[in-house]
Amino acid sequence: MLRINNFGTRKLIKDVCKQRYYSAAVPKPKTEHETKKEPKRENESFMANIFRGNLVSKQVFPYPDVLTEEQKEITNSLVDPFERFFTEVNDAAKSDANSKTDDSTLKSLWELGGMAIQVPNDYGGLGMNNTQYGRLCQIVGANDLGLGITLGAHQSIGFKGILLYGTQAQKDKYLPKVSTEEVYAAFALTEPSSGSDANSIRCRAVKSADNKYYVLNGSKIWISNGGIAEIMTVFAQTEQIDKKTGEKKDKVTAFIVERSFGGVTSGPPEKKMGIKSSNTAEVYFEDVKIPIENVLGEEGEGFKVAMNILNNGRFGMGATLSGTMKKCIEIATAHANNRVQFGQKLKAYASIQAKLAQMNILQYATESMAFAISQNMDAGSQDYHLEAAISKVYASECAWYVCDEAIQILGGMGFMRDTGLERVMRDLRIFRIFEGTNDILRLFVALSGVQYAGNHLKELQRAFKNPSANLGFIFKEASRRGTDLSAHVVPELMESAKKTAACIDLFGRTTEEVLLKHNKNIIHEQLILNNLADAAIDIYAMVVTQSRSSRASKLNLPTAQHEINLTKALATQASDRVMDNLKKTTSGQQQGQNKLLSVIAQEICNQDGVHTTGPLDQQ
């Protein structure tokens, strides 16, 4: 049964919308205003819909398969030559040691066409779609994450804005340069005082009196390719006049800035823990004159531009890291197959077996997510932001785990530089931090979902005010619960699908419950939001793997049984975790625990660190 109370839901929605966005790299939740403007379009996101207990299966079942035979053939014909570049020309270990990729190697990557994979052919690029790009990203991930950053900062975010928002003139001018003329691009959003909270940037651009150019001042930090880029997508505050009220207000605008405009300088390469071969630097802007035609997108719409660029590129991280994990598993497997201890090969021991199995389960789920999302994007979906955020969090955490376990299987050998895993571990650390920290993305997933559910509750509430007129809607709502996935999976996965369906049901009910309980204050319940996000992530992992392995089974692929096994194992562990996380959101015991943690943290902060008496300290 639905429980509706009369207070709060309406206000909650307003408050969620008014709330300052939490973050960098997090898309702005749609405001009520915007929703009204557009003709009503059903949100097709599987994940958004399960927040309201609704099953919209289009994006996940059956597993998307959007490439034409020709596209598949082209992609596969590029795999070998691209791999060959990494195994025969590039030397990841050397680049890591030098904190720089050799110029000759970079030159051959440019010549190879690897710097403009998604730029249309007419501008000199390869014209690949997201899914094809993802396949190549896997090769990058398996071989050199540092070079992957150089490559990704350039095309996944550096000039992506020109592809997405550029005018014809901007495309004609810049795309050939960044595709074939060896001109690097960068994306400059982060500032010293503005990390996760991207809307608070301080760079400022002032329009000239004759309206012909902007003058940009300010600085950016930790900009990938910042020291080498000639062309940058830069975000700065600009004064905008509200068309309705005439009020002057600061709003972010995106610009295409060339180093050659003058006044653009950059700092020395930062010394980093990993991804060392990529260039990271501060970039300074001093009275940089930007012609007005270099505004990217609408003036004052820069925040949206930034978020869409990041959203659009986020799936690539999942694809990249699925390649990294695959490589880690290969290295670990080779060791387990050959190393003999206590008279047996490591592969004979159950604890090693469990590790290898777990590593493959996570790799399979990560890869399934990445290519479900990329293919939905290629099919024209607009509703992939939640899934993309989930896949980024999942991929970066699984990759860390998988690399860590690979090192563990290799023991002391894994700790040695020559094995190649130590570098990967250092490289991987940043993936949980950049392009939207996992903490912020978890909040984004939960808050966007909760908001979507809240909107729906509000509609329902209205319907109840005039039940006779809205009976159909109410009945539909009342009969909605009771998710059944059995039609979407092969018989062998029935049990897993049942577990998942139970999770989805409880997930919808729990979201409703916490919404009704906390109202607008849900925004401040970060730990509850984290629980919801973790449950959402696990549900998505279960669903995409069930979908993918069902496809494998239906196509009679030689690997089908193995994939089914991975899927089943994942469903068992993930569904347990989902139930646990969902229970925590409402359990009194957990709330007590959360409060206790908060008290402890406050003490730590008040005392500037650990404040306990050491066992040997004088009483």
Partner 1 sequence: MARVLVGVKRVIDYAVKVRVKPEKNGVVTQGVKHSMNPFDEIAVEEAVKLKEKKLASEIIAVSVGPTQSQEVIRTALAMGADRGVHVEVSAAEYELLQPLHVSKILAKLALDEKADLVILGKQAIDDDANQTAQMTAAVLDWPQGTFCNKVEKTDAGLTIVREIDGGLETIKTKMPAVLSADLRLNTPRYATLPNIMKAKKKPLKKMTPKDLGVDTTPRIEVVSVEDPPVRQAGATVADVDALVAKLKEGGHI
CB of 409 to partner 1, least distance (A): 23
Q: Distance between CA atoms of 98 and 91, rounded to whole angstroms?
A: 11
Strands 231-241 and 185-188: parallel
DSSP label at 194? B
Nearer to partner 1, 155 or 550 (CB): 155
Which residues make Cβ contacts (< 8 Å) with residue 89, sequence separation at least 6? 105, 108
Q: Distance between CA atoms of 354 and 569, rounded to whole angstroms?
A: 11
The residue assigned the tokens 């195994």 is 87
Query: Is 38 tagged catalytic?
Result: no
SS3 state at 24: coil
Nearer to partner 1, 108 or 438 (CB): 108
CB of 342 to partner 1, least distance (A): 23
Strands (E), 225-324: 231-241, 248-258, 264-266, 280-291, 295-296
Rg value, the chain, Cα: 25
CB of 420 to partner 1, least distance (A): 17
Nearer to partner 1, 136 or 460 (CB): 136
Q: Please, what is the Cα angle at 136 between 169 and 109, to 5 degrees?
A: 70
Nearer to partner 1, 111 or 286 (CB): 111
Nearer to partner 1, 177 or 499 (CB): 177
Nearer to partner 1, 137 or 441 (CB): 137
Q: Distance between CA atoms of 321 and 438, rounded to whole angstroms?
A: 15
What distance separates the 2 farthest-apart alpha carbons in the chain? 83
CB of 84 to partner 1, least distance (A): 7
CB of 511 to partner 1, least distance (A): 45
Contact of 171 with 355, CB cutoff 8 Å: no
Tokens of 216: 């940009």
Q: Distance between CA atoms of 17 and 33, rounded to whole angstroms?
A: 10
Tokens of 171: 């495309």
Dihedral of the CA atoms 274, 279, 282, 288 (nearest 10)?
-160
DSSP label at 275? -
**Helix (H) and strand (E) counts in the chain:** 21, 10
CB of 118 to partner 1, least distance (A): 12
Strands (E), 242-355: 248-258, 264-266, 280-291, 295-296, 340-341, 344-345
Choose the catalytic residue: 435, 477, 525, 563.
435
Nearer to partner 1, 109 or 390 (CB): 109
Q: Interface residues with partner 1 (CB under 8 A)?
A: 74, 77-78, 80-82, 84-85, 89, 108, 111-114, 117, 121, 124, 126
CB of 180 to partner 1, least distance (A): 9
Contact of 209 with 164, CB cutoff 8 Å: no
Nearer to partner 1, 117 or 317 (CB): 117
Tokens of 529: 């939001």
CB of 386 to partner 1, least distance (A): 33
Q: Distance between CA atoms of 251 and 297, rounded to whole angstroms?
A: 13
Contact of 401 with 442, CB cutoff 8 Å: no
Catalytic residues: 435
